[in-house]
Structure 1
């Protein structure tokens, strides 16, 4: 415990010490982060304002966009600050808050992706009963249940990690991930490692099984559709969701479920960049901005704004 009291701050040693490369990375990450925030805010706003998008699929989409904002914001702002200032420290409290938020938002995303796959399953396999099954109450329950289950599973292990005695302050990562943090503990943590692994298996493989089963039934139903146009329309409604699933699950399964001897922390850091920066940016364009209904809603409101500006200019010119 004496060693633990000596650790007032953690040192994040995940990025290079080359100052020019740090500045370059700062600019790239800043542009990507601003794009993610603005894009997802637009998605949330347009999905809430446009009554034509008040259906279960878009309810899940704007909730997913909120999670993406929280997920990236839990990590990237601190990374940007450290790159800009040349510092690489984070307080003990700040480290654990960052780690907790990162995993809460991340796990909730996977649970929500499973809920979205169920929504697509009902829409394609039971179209006549869709509005009855996917009621507002069930959709709200699925979203709130995703949040509640994440907090229930992660709060306990997070408190245990916070109470560990630490003998080293050098975190071999660019943010406070659980694996490099636990490696700094002065004590052996086999039970905590097993609990964290079990939670990762449940949140990743468990929700992935739900998604796979849903899409197995979806594909079976689509193949039985007689018309080619009907098949194309059905596939198009699921394609974006499937792409997001592959991107999101692939990186996280490698980081948290792979055997310990496969790769090291240096490889995991590279995959973590894909997971925390590249994946949210791709999700934004693949999952939301390429959606036809959202595009039409954006075009409608942009045209309304342009018409409003034109009217204001005419009124000013008349005065």
Structure 2
């Protein structure tokens, strides 16, 4: 068998994309261009606001800025390439770029899975231990958590991809708009059973376990919210947690359906639609459902605008 790193039989991959119809591809170009611009602009604005406004220098917004940064990087790994390929008769990607795109996308996705779990823990402490919140979630703890959720996925991704053994012997047409791991593995002419086991184990550490942790955490938060006597306090807690759960539901739901289920022999359009949800739609929606509805973020935006106008 040949490993990912030294395969010489395949030098490039052909990406089928979402459609081969020129009119459909032109329409998809406009749709995805708008979605990409919204995702990049919205998430970049969130990062800038959190950095420049001292009112947002709290653990919750610190982790939110990490989420927005990840989303900008994640959506950029595939959408610009998809837009360029919309006007290409034979969209191709080199073997090295394909490998790089897969590893970066997997690493960013794993980081976001862990980050959402950390954000759930932050909300748990804020709601269940409000008097000790600043002590438990101090600056040092936040930095350590951030370093961990960025470092662990990098190491896990390196180990996962370096241990994958795949023999690519000529099949190079990928039924996808990007180099998705599951889609590329289906082109292997050698057995991918071991590779599948490795992927499931890696997904369990960064996808299944954090998801279970989030469910347990929000179960505890739910009981705590029910004990809040103030209707205003209960509403504020539910608003913050509801936004977080919306993000978790979309991102985790599609990712779990993709990676923790029996794999078919062929990669279908349904899998491509799921990839659009967690790779494009979620990064676009995050700023709107998680930040723009937040009064503190809106206040920071108006303060920044006010400074610019006042100069």
**TM-score w.r.t. length of structure 2:** 0.94
| Residue of structure 2 equivalent to 1:7 | 10
Contact residue 251 and residue 274 of structure 1 kept, 8 A: yes
List runs of 5+ in structure 1 lacking aligned partners. Answer: 309-319
| Residue of structure 1 equivalent to 2:95 | 92
Which of 276, 279, 282 matches 1:279? 282
Distance 1:208 1:263, change over 3 A: farther
Shift of 1:15: 2.1
Contact residue 14 and residue 175 of structure 1 kept, 8 A: yes
Answer yes or no: is 1:195 the counterpart of 2:194: no
**Once the two structures are superposed, what CA deviation does each residue of 1:245-294 show, in whole Å capped at 9, x if it has no partner?**
11111110111112225995321011111121111111121012222111
| Residue of structure 2 equivalent to 1:314 | none
Contact residue 32 and residue 83 of structure 2 kept, 8 A: yes
Distance 2:265 2:186 in 1: 17
SS of 2:177's equivalent in the other structure is coil
Shift of 1:161: 4.2
Contact residue 96 and residue 162 of structure 1 kept, 8 A: no
Task: Please list, as runs of the form range in 1=range in 2, the aligned pairs for 1:113-192 lying within 5 A after superposition.
Answer: 113-161=116-164, 164-192=167-195
Answer yes or no: is 1:291 the counterpart of 2:294: yes
More relative contact order, 1 or 2 (CA 8 Å, 6+ apart): 2
Shift of 1:85: 3.2
Distance 1:129 1:166, change over 3 A: farther
Contact residue 99 and residue 176 of structure 1 kept, 8 A: yes
Answer yes or no: is 1:270 the counterpart of 2:273: yes
Which of 16, 29, 34 matches 2:32? 29
Distance 2:293 2:106 in 1: 27
Distance 1:282 1:8 in 2: 36
Distance 2:7 2:206 in 1: 31
Distance 2:15 2:265 in 1: 23
List runs of 5+ in structure 2 lacking aligned partners. Answer: none
**TM-score w.r.t. length of structure 1:** 0.92
Bigger drift between 253-262 and 243-252 goes to 253-262
Contact residue 44 and residue 62 of structure 1 kept, 8 A: yes
Shift of 1:13: 1.2
Which of 190, 210, 216 matches 1:207? 210
Which of 225, 229, 240 matches 2:228? 225
Bigger drift between 109-118 and 72-81 goes to 72-81
Distance 2:238 2:284 in 1: 23
SS of 2:8's equivalent in the other structure is helix
CA root-mean-square deviation:
1.9
Q: Which has more radius of gyration? A: 1
